[in-house]
Amino acid sequence: MRRIYVIGTADTKGAELRFLAQAIAAGGGAPVIVDVGIGTPSIAPDVVAAQVAAHGAPGLLALQDRGAAVCAMAEAFMRFITTRDDIAGLIGIGGSGGTAIVTAGMRTLAIGVPKLMVSTLASGDTSPYVGVSDIVMMPSITDLAGLNRISRGVLGRAAAAITAMAGVSPPPAGDRPAIGMTMFGVTTPAVTQVLERLGSTVEGMVFHATGTGGRTMEALVDSGFLEGVIDLTTTEVADLLCGGVLPAGPDRLDCIARTKMPYVGSVGACDMVNFWAPGTVPDRYKDRLFHRHNANVTLMRTNAEDNAAIGAWIAAKLNRCEGPVHVLLPGAGVSALDVEGGAFFDPAADAALFDALQKGLQPTASRRVTRLPLHINDPAFADSVVAAYRQMTA
């Protein structure tokens, strides 16, 4: 039987957990209450805290420091939940501590497993809790400190939602390989043309290269959802190295090395670093070239020094890849702004990027770099990208 896991701290949220479980059962679901609290539970959970804590550090339940206990229980719950093979869905409730514990475990599970977190923190910045997973955050409205006319309504709707989500069968995967692609507004023509040329032979999944987009794509690589990557827009590396607001994580490209995934890459939009309104640009960049993308986004042109660092960083990452890798360098420009007459046209800065990447990448029978006298948005560049991908996956 596949069951809906109802998770929270049964010492402080026992009544709410029981209410949720009853509502799920009334809706046709099979609930199992999991206690991730440290204190004495006020109800009898199906899985006691000691069972969860057994997956963590010794003495976890004896910790007196609340912060240390929350961190330790989060680690234990992450390990515990990955051992379960009967999960139809997860629903958690909590304040700051409970939310940190439950969502840590939720993030370890594959995208597509229903996950709903009812939290007092759901109306603020939820990125530390959601990450690049598909957790649904639902505001609790009142604090989760006993049942009342508001909390009963919220929890009732949450129970109905997770029961419905758990009952939805996943769609068939299909017989076309799923390919991850990265895109920015300034590289949209390139990605669109590649998709058109690949046609119905693949199922293209495009990710906006805003930091979160790249991390999401790479999480899908690690989860086995993707069978290849066409990473034309590596601008997140520019933000990472130059302090922009849309950075990749330091582990960008590591998933390609881990999985040996077929990889065609480029340096799309590495001519720019993203900041918010002009006042958010660090003082050290006051003499740089800027372009106002809109009222909230300010783009800074990378210079030759920045680009040399970006090229070397990408090359070092790809040197760890043993699977098929082909990097295509668009010698005539890397974005819609980096074109003759454009705001960021700077062939010398681009040359520093290309030279560093070409010099740093160690060629092998399966790893190569090709420099083309084309703009990244030229149709002929898309032709080359598609040819490179088809060659490595033939």
By CB atoms closer than 10 A (0-12, 13-18, 19+), residue 63 is middle
**67-82, pLDDT tens digit by residue?**
999 999 999 999 999 9
The SS3 assignment for 265 reads strand
Q: What tokens were used for 346?
A: 């700077």
State the pLDDT at residue 170: 76
State the pLDDT at residue 250: 96
The better pLDDT of the pair 76, 124 is held by 76
Q: With 90 as the cut, is the pLDDT of residue 169 above it? A: no
State the pLDDT at residue 20: 98
Backbone angles phi, psi at 55, to 5 degrees: -90, 0
Residue 47 DSSP symbol: B
CA angle 202, 204, 207 (to 5 degrees): 160
State the pLDDT at residue 171: 73
By CB atoms closer than 10 A (0-12, 13-18, 19+), residue 158 is buried
Residue whose C-alpha is closest to residue 8's, from 134, 145, 149: 145
Count of residues in the chain = 394
Residue 114 DSSP symbol: -
- What is d(CA 354, CA 331) in angstroms, rounded to the nearest whole number? 8
The crossing angle, in degrees rounded to 10, of helices 304-318 and 235-242 is 110
Which residues, other chains included, contact 193 with Cβ-Cβ below 8 Å and sequence gap of 6+? 377, 379, 382
State the pLDDT at residue 306: 98
The fold of the 3-166 domain, in CATH, is Rossmann fold (3.40.50)
Q: What tokens were used for 383?
A: 């032709």
Specify whether the CB–CB gap between 137 and 130 falls below 8 A: yes
Specify whether the CB–CB gap between 377 and 348 falls below 8 A: no
State the pLDDT at residue 174: 76
Calculate mean pLDDT across residues 185-213: 96
Residue whose C-alpha is closest to residue 346's, from 298, 307, 299, 297: 307
Res. 105 pLDDT band, cuts 50 70 90: very high
Specify whether the CB–CB gap between 332 and 377 falls below 8 A: no
Res. 337 pLDDT band, cuts 50 70 90: very high
What is the per-residue burial (b if ≥16 Cβ within 10 Å, else e) of 133-142? bbbbbbebee
- What is d(CA 102, CA 91) in angstroms, rounded to the nearest whole number? 9
Res. 336 pLDDT band, cuts 50 70 90: very high
The whole-chain average pLDDT of the chain stands at 96
State the pLDDT at residue 1: 82
C-alpha to C-alpha distances, 387 to 177, 198, 266, 313, 383, nearest whole angstrom:
16, 10, 14, 26, 6
Q: With 90 as the cut, is the pLDDT of residue 175 above it? A: no
Q: With 90 as the cut, is the pLDDT of residue 184 above it? A: yes
Percent of the chain with pLDDT over 70: 100
- What is d(CA 168, CA 163) in angstroms, rounded to the nearest whole number? 9
The crossing angle, in degrees rounded to 10, of helices 347-360 and 304-318 is 30
**251-300, pLDDT tens digit by residue?**
999 999 999 999 999 999 999 999 999 999 999 999 999 999 998 999 99
Backbone angles phi, psi at 91, to 5 degrees: -130, 130
Report the top-level CATH class of 178-393.
alpha beta
Q: With 90 as the cut, is the pLDDT of residue 371 above it? A: yes
Helix segments in the chain, DSSP class H: 14-26, 49-53, 66-81, 96-108, 127-130, 149-166, 188-198, 212-223, 235-242, 254-259, 304-318, 347-360, 379-393
**194-203, pLDDT tens digit by residue?**
999 999 999 9
Percent of the chain with pLDDT over 90: 96
Question: In the chain, where are the structural domains located?
Answer: 3-166, 178-393
Of the candidate ranges 28-42, 102-116, 159-173, 209-223, the one whose mean pLDDT is the lowest? 159-173
